[in-house]
Amino acid sequence: MRQEVALGYAIPISRDCVRNLKHGELYPLGLAHQLTINDQGLQIPKKRVTHDLSNRKKHGLSINQRVIDEELPACQYGHAILRFLHLVHHIRLQHPNQRILMCKSDIDKAYRRLHTTPRIAAKCMTAWSTNIDKDETQQEAFIGLLLTRLPFGSSPAPAEFSICSDTIFDLANDLLHCTLWDPTALPSPYDADLPAPEHLPNDTPFGDALPVDVHLPPSQKAGVEGYIDDGIVAVLDAPITKRMVERARQALAMANHLVFRPQAHDEPITRPDAQCIRKLKAEGRLQETIIFLGWHINSRSLTICLPDDKAIAWTTSIQTALKDGSISYDDASTLVGRLNHVAFTIPSARHFLNRIRRLEYIADKYGTAKINPQTRCDLKLWLDFIHQANTGLSINSIVFRLPTIICFSDASEHGIGGYCLNTGLAWHYQFSRIERESFTLNLKEFLASVINGKVHLPLDKSPHPCLLSVGDSSCAAGWLNKSNFDPTLEPIHADVAREHARTIIKHNACEYSQHIPGVTNVVADCLSRDFHLSHKHLTAMLKSANPPYLPQVLTYTPLSQQILSWIGSLARNQPKRKVSPKQPTPSTLAHGISGWTSNATSNFPTPIWTTKTKPPSWTSSVLSCKQYALEHLTQNPSEFLGPLRVRPSAMWRRPLLQVVGLIQRKTLPEKRTSASSDKQKHTERKTLQLNTKRHYLPQYSGTSSPSLIPPEKKPRPTSSPEPSSMVAEAANIVSSQRKNAKPDPSE
């Protein structure tokens, strides 16, 4: 705290001043023990002061709870590591046998670079007491601090500072691609602190980049990415990019220097440099291996792994919890965050987090929680996941890959079915009475998607298979990626999700799920319903109808005895449900058949279709295309086809990339229906929060409930400069400079 006052980040005040300050609020301080590096790159201990602005959270009185999240600036740093991996993968895909160099830059005391308003500073005060020099009332000495800078622990702080940091990263990207800038003639002030580049041995093999489903511009050979105060650059090291490599070495440092105010020689208050010189000397060099956001990235082998120090520390914490047999809330909360970090490289491992999250919930309620045998097994499995992440995984399994297997599935009350669009291999299974009564319809949809992976993944010969599971159930599509089932209330759902995770991890695969309308999932619907037809008749019906997503060749395979036994065991473990018996309902296509004829030119019988009739409105268990005319569905299958995979652009490409000029179009993320069982309660709670919040921060005196005092209305300015004209003027200046500049033959 002495440093905070010396640097002008906080103003010390007396106890009486704290008590008399209008609308003042006090929040406790915390101390986080962390590791950092010195200028030699060696790890050293570090203590970070945190500000607990979520104090009194259970009472709903903390300042973080009164922040209107909907009005915060949009944050772009959430997918920074994923976007950077896409950039490295793209450069490797375009240049398979060329080096890719990377370097980092860090903003020192990032949040302390931004001021807060006096009103917010009064609400974020802190204090500490000491028993030295007690006053005449024998009370402990009390020292208050009025923080004038953005506090650590404030929920709006990341969003507020990202406005500044994203501008720095985009400016660095402009400098990186600006041929007018010659770093040798106009170097950054930190040029002398930047180490020389470092390369791996020439005999180190290059990792192969597999085809992806998203595409950056083919001409892009470098880029800048950042997460709040950490910036990173990747650039192709080749003869054609020699000048660009020189700019990449200094782009981030120069951008930091241009954005922040330079230091004067006679600063009235000591002010540290905005650029962290200590980390710049250790990690500022261009190299092929680097640690970014807790991950060790190797651009030569195209791998990512968990650093050794994190793997050892996290493994030790799990082993300690297993030895003690119980865990506290703080340790459980920290453990969940660490395991979720590991799950970035092993997404299927998130299916094994539900019991550990419940352990955290119990520890939060009672202080500590005992580790039951099932949770103990999950923790031991997570030791294997940490070891796997520490060993290293291919970046090909993390980026948005082009699917090697596209599988469709569907379920009805009486059966499930699925097929592979690539190979045409199909399967279907009719439930027994016990299985039909034990499983819900959503669970049957989920089970069909999981069996699809168990059937088709072993047949894929790719070193890193990529499975795309397509179905007409939004619940199953969400459960394939992440499941938070309560193991006591939904044990079968959790078992199915865990079995699916084991299948994905066993085959070193990655998976995506996609929801499509039921009207286009005709083939899988027929497989899950038409058990009264033979395989020959079923194939003939589908070939004659020509529905969407029909493979050219359709073959059938029975499910293995292992899968059948697994389905039966699930039904035996599921609590019995009271359901009314239902008769099997054929698919919509089967309803349109009036007979069969033999065709001399074909080995299959040809169905006779009813013409100019619309199927009646069947029950809810019938295919969702019931409202469409049969001949329209069968004669115009291309009308229902659409893109199966739409990736949100913010996850694989920086939204802006530049400060001046035209930007690329963005793809918004898809809004999925929540698969949570308490969806209605969550919606009501969210609506209540929105209705009680205001467009200003309520003032809280510390003794009673917050009082809502509206702020004074300010008159709207009569005239303001048009942003479009300003951008156009800036773009004209840049374009004229580029026209007058001589082309660089090396780029």
Output the pLDDT for position 728.
42
Which residue shows structure tokens 């005999």?
A: 203
Paired sense of beta strands 466-471 and 10-13, if any: unpaired
Q: What is the pLDDT of residue 239?
A: 93
Mean pLDDT on 297-302: 96
Tens of pLDDT, residue by residue over 450-459, are 999 999 999 9
Task: Tell which wins on pLDDT, 604 or 150.
Answer: 150
Instruction: Determine the average pLDDT of the residues in 635-659.
Output: 67
Phi, psi of 115 (to 5 degrees): -85, 160
Answer positive or negative: Cα dihedral of 183, 188, 193, 197.
Answer: negative
Residues 167 and 240 in one domain: yes
Do 101 and 119 share a domain, yes or no? Answer: no
Question: pLDDT > 70: what percent of the chain?
Answer: 78
Q: Is 342 exposed, middle or buried (0-12, 13-18, 19+ CB in 10 A)?
A: buried
Enumerate the β-bridge partners of residue 540.
none
Last residue of one domain, picked from the residues 373, 400, 427 = 400
The number of helix segments (H) and strand segments (E) in the chain equals 22, 22
Strand partners, 326: 370
Establish if 687 belongs to a structural domain.
no
Per-residue pLDDT tens digits for 217-245: 999 999 999 999 899 999 999 999 999 99
For residue 618, the model assigns a pLDDT of 39
- 205 and 339 fall within a common domain: no
Q: What pLDDT, on the 0 to 100 scale, is given for residue 147?
A: 87
339 versus 635: the higher-pLDDT residue is: 339
Question: How high does pLDDT run on average in the chain?
Answer: 80
| Residue 450 included in any domain | yes
Residues 97 and 171 in one domain: yes
Residue 332 has pLDDT above 90, yes or no: yes
Please give the Cα distance from 685 to 475 (Å, whole number): 21
Verify that 95 and 121 share a domain, yes or no: no
Residue among 461, 706, 415, 462 at smallest CA distance from 587: 415
Domain boundary among 376, 400, 424: 400
Write down which residue in 366, 391, 416 finishes a domain.
Answer: 391
Q: Is residue 681 part of a domain?
A: no
Task: Please give the angle made by the CA atoms of 509, 514 and 516, to the nearest 5 degrees.
Answer: 150
Residue 606's pLDDT band (cuts 50, 70, 90)? confident
Which 8-state DSSP code applies to residue 548? T
pLDDT score for 182: 93
Alpha-carbon gap, residue 123 to 113, rounded angstroms: 19
Say yes or no to pLDDT of 86 above 80: yes
Task: Write out the residue range of the structural domain in which residue 50 sits.
Answer: 1-66+115-148
Residues near 658 by beta carbon (within 8 Å), at least 6 away in sequence: 170, 173, 174, 177
Lowest mean pLDDT among 120-124, 463-467, 686-690: 686-690
Residue 473 carries which side chain, given as an amino acid letter? S
Q: pLDDT tens digits, residue range 546-558?
A: 888 889 899 999 9
Q: Which residue has the higher pLDDT, 92 or 485?
A: 92
Cα distance between residue 270 and residue 540, in whole Å: 83
Residue 241 domain flag: yes
How far are the Cα atoms of 56, 212, 637 from residue 230, in angstroms, in the given order? 31, 27, 50
* pLDDT (average), residues 356-378: 92
| pLDDT score, position 224 | 95
* Residues sharing a CB contact under 8 Å with residue 139, sequence separation 6 or more, in sequence order: none
* 426 in the same domain as 354: no
Specify if 739 maps to a domain: no
Decide: 236 and 221 in contact? Cβ < 8 Å. yes
Residue 546 counted as domain residue: yes
Q: What is the rounded distance in angstroms from the CA atom of residue 548 to the CA atom of residue 636?
A: 9
Residue with tokens 């395979």: 557
Indicate if 618 and 471 belong to the same structural domain.
Answer: yes
pLDDT at 601: 65
My answer on whether 283 and 339 are in the same domain is no
Please give the Cα distance from 358 to 489 (Å, whole number): 12
Write the pLDDT tens digit of every residue in 147-156.
888 888 888 8
| Alpha-carbon distances of 349 from 4, 353, 391, 446, rounded to whole Å | 42, 7, 16, 17
**Domain-located, residue 267:** yes
Cβ atoms of residues 419 and 524 within 8 Å: yes
Angle between helical axes of 561-573 and 441-456 (0-180°, round to 10):
160
**Co-location of 231 and 295 in the same domain:** yes
Q: Which two tokens stand for residue 266?
A: 């006679």
- Assigned token pair, 215: 């595409």
Note the pLDDT of residue 643: 57
Tally of domains in the chain = 4
Rg of the chain taking only CA atoms, in angstroms: 31
Residue 44 or 726, more confident: 44
CATH code of the domain covering residue 415: 3.30.420.10
Shared-domain flag, residues 349 and 326: yes
pLDDT of residue 238: 94
**pLDDT category of residue 696 using cuts at 50, 70 and 90:** very low
- The answer on 373 and 489 residing in a single domain is no
DSSP 508-543: T-EEEEEE--GGG-HHHHHHHH-TTS-HHHHHHHHH
Which pTM does this prediction carry?
A: 0.81
**Segment among 260-264, 532-536, 738-742 with least mean pLDDT:** 738-742
Please write the tens of the pLDDT for every residue from 248-293.
999 999 999 999 888 888 888 888 888 888 888 888 899 999 999 9
Domain assignment of residue 704, yes or no: no
Please check whether residues 596 and 462 belong to one and the same domain: yes
Q: What is the dihedral of CA 436, 438, 444, 447, to 10 degrees?
A: -120
Higher pLDDT, 617 or 29: 29
Averaged over 89-111, what is the pLDDT? 93
pLDDT of residue 600: 62
CA 257 to CA 250: how far, in whole Å? 11
Pairing label, strands 368-370, 415-420: unpaired
